[in-house]
Amino acid sequence: MAMGADTTTAFGIDSSWGWPIGGALGGAIAAAAFGLVMWLMDPEILAVAIPAIYGLEPVGVVGWTIHVAHGVVLGLLFGFLVTREPILGIVATSTETEALSRTGIALRVVGAGFVFGLAVWAILPLLVLPVWLEALGVEAAADFPATAVESMIGHLLFGTVLGLVFAVTIDFRDRPARSPFEE
């Protein structure tokens, strides 16, 4: 078998370069899940507010397309981060807590996705979006519910689904998981 070739096992892609596939796929599915919840709560967010962030007119599926594209980019970021040695080492570290030590790496990756979703909510809609909107002078997107509980729940859903899809897609068995806490 060629070095670095993508191969699929019963547990997912076992190549060290499988993370972009898992990240993009997880991000797209997670963004669709989050988008569905948003659309059920307030369809105007996807239809009008998201395109308005970029100064676009609310035409067709522009909001959905932008939302899923955001998810893919964030999924790639998650995949990159969670497969790097320091973070993977933390995720795979044996713990002294019995409940955590019984969980497999897949469940821990789902937990990392949850934390990632919380971080995305804290950074992008709470910090970056207000500055972006003020710089552009976009009024239509000013109603974007960045700090709403629904936004936080949606981002937590995004992160959890992202972590779940990533954990199912990627095979972590061959990954070095040296803990950064050990010498």
Structure token pair of residue 162: 């992202």
Task: Per residue of the chain (183 residues), give pLDDT as tens.
Answer: 344 443 333 345 556 668 899 999 999 999 999 999 989 988 888 898 888 888 888 888 999 999 999 999 999 999 999 988 888 877 877 666 666 666 788 888 999 999 999 999 999 888 888 788 777 776 645 555 556 788 899 999 999 999 999 999 988 766 555 555 555
